Amino acid sequence: MYGKLIDTAIEKLSDQFKAVDEIAFVNQQKVLNAFINNRVALRHFNPTTGYGYDDVARDTLNKIYAEVFGTEDAIVSPLITSGTHALTIALFGLLRPNQTLLCITGKPYDTLNDVIFGEGYGSLKDFGVRCKIVPLKDGAPDIPAIKAAIRGENPSVVMIQRSRGYDMRPALSVEQINELIALADRQKSKILLDNCYGEFVQATEPSQADAIVGSLIKNVGGGIAPTGGYICGSRAAINMIEGRLTAPSIGREVGSYAGDYRLFYQGLFMAPHVTAQSVKTAMLFSQVLSALGYETMPKPNEKFFDIICSVKFGDENKLIDFCKTIQSASPVDSFAAPEPWDMPGYNDKVIMAAGAFVQGASIELSCDAPIRPPYIAYFQGGLTLEHGIIALRKCVAALGGE
């Protein structure tokens, strides 16, 4: 129906697709229960203006996220502009001058480089925060080195990055994250988890972290939320962080939204299903592109712990052509031809294919890559598996397949 190569791949993936559907069902039940338990009604969709005192929509959304993620408290806000912004708020909330941040899953994502190491415009370094990084070993956390760093550095915050960023390494499972959390001295260190791209991929969330951070235009927004970010965690951690969302004197007591809150609620409700569609699409891309001779991660038949499929092209032009093909299969701006450019927050030129209804929403079918060897594309998203198949057919043709 879709071409022999794709049809064969779908057949091979039938058991994995079934497992993804089972996870989606568990997560859908969890989200539905949170809506019912918090008595969501039409009034929770109403906008607010001004200071936003007693904004029941905002406050109830916080409670729902806390329940879904299994944490004591949460901040969910359209005032948070991105995952990087959410992480920055959390870092500045949890850290104080002359304390140490320990990153135990290698160098954080590119956009955090200036947040942590920048000079002269309000970075953590400017405020006297030291950052130590434990490099990955063979693409995985180096447990002996992490244990030694925790003992030697006495960190105030230990940071874990669930997804791969721009590294060719597997995403971390909830089980692996919990093992890393167990290494820290919880009396001395807060655990900050960058959870981007990993929400709802498994049946449980890494709720043992003190602060779990992500973007609403990725998994948890269901392709519907127009902006925003979340920080879920312990009440003590959220109390430290909320003053950096607005101001220490007011925290979460203010913050209005003149738009429609319905999109945030409906996006979360749709998120388990949409995430499942994205995971299936990533699995299919891995299966087919591997059959065409490209190195993919995760490899075919390996478990996915985020929604991303990395594809190593080893050639700049092939990488760019792949991204252009993804763009050409997009519902929005399909006629545009993405080109590498100096994107804010990145050290290399970056190409981004994202013909999305929500600008930059990587839960929608999209692809991006830094222009540097070995020229790896990071493919993610897909609101429907059907759209993913259509895009894959175009990619197979462009890459010289059937």
Mean pLDDT, range 192-197, rounded to an integer: 98
The conformation of residue 110, written as its DSSP 8-state character, comes to G
Q: Of 1-10, 208-217, 343-352, 379-388, which gets the smallest average pLDDT?
A: 343-352
pLDDT for the residue 402:
64
Query: Rounded to whole angstroms, what are the CA distances from 293 to 182, 325, 375?
Result: 39, 18, 15
- CB neighbours of 246 closer than 8 A, spacing ≥ 6? 79, 252, 254, 255
According to CATH, the topology of domain 49-267 is Aspartate Aminotransferase; domain 2 (3.40.640)
Helix (H, G, I), strand (E, B) or coil at 183: helix
Mean pLDDT, range 289-299, rounded to an integer: 96
Mean pLDDT, range 71-96, rounded to an integer: 97
Helices 262-291, 56-69: axis angle to 10 degrees equals: 40
- pTM of the predicted model, to two decimals? 0.96
pLDDT for the residue 390:
97
pLDDT tens-digit readout, 310-325: 999 999 999 999 999 9
pLDDT for the residue 167:
86
Mean pLDDT, range 57-82, rounded to an integer: 97
Mean pLDDT, range 32-44, rounded to an integer: 98
Mean pLDDT, range 348-366, rounded to an integer: 94
Helices 262-291, 4-12: axis angle to 10 degrees equals: 110
pLDDT at 273 over 80: yes
What confidence category does residue 237 fall into, taking pLDDT thresholds of 50, 70 and 90?
Answer: very high
pLDDT for the residue 343:
78
Q: Where are the domains of the chain?
A: 4-25+272-398, 49-267
Cβ(380)–Cβ(362) below 8 Å: yes
pLDDT for the residue 178:
97
pLDDT at 401 over 70: no
Residues 317 and 354: their CA atoms lie apart, in Å, by: 18
Residues 56 and 400: their CA atoms lie apart, in Å, by: 55
pLDDT for the residue 355:
92
Residues 5 and 123: their CA atoms lie apart, in Å, by: 49
Top-level CATH class of 4-25+272-398?
Answer: alpha beta
Percentage helix, strand, coil for the chain under 3-state DSSP, each rounded to 5: 40, 15, 45
pLDDT at 57 over 90: yes
Q: Over the chain, what is the mean pLDDT?
A: 96
Per DSSP bridges, beta strands 100-103 and 229-233 are unpaired
Neighbours of 141 (CB within 10 A): 21
The burial of 278, by beta-carbon neighbours within 10 Å (0-12 exposed, 13-18 middle, 19 or more buried), is given as buried
The pLDDT > 90 percentage for the chain reads 93
Beta bridge partners of 351: 369
For the chain, state the CA radius of gyration.
21
Instruction: List the structure tokens of 246.
Output: 């607005």
Mean pLDDT, range 141-158, rounded to an integer: 97
Closest to 40 (Cα-Cα) out of 264, 227, 275, 273: 264
Mean pLDDT, range 63-75, rounded to an integer: 98
pLDDT for the residue 363:
98
The pLDDT > 70 percentage for the chain reads 99
Helix (H, G, I), strand (E, B) or coil at 346: coil
pLDDT for the residue 347:
78
Closest to 298 (Cα-Cα) out of 395, 379, 397: 379
pLDDT tens-digit readout, 152-192: 999 999 999 999 988 889 999 999 999 999 999 999 999 99
The three state secondary structure string of 225-265 is CCCCEEEEECHHHHHHHHHHHCCCCCHHHCCCCCCCCHHHH
Closest to 102 (Cα-Cα) out of 152, 46, 51: 152
Mean pLDDT, range 281-308, rounded to an integer: 96
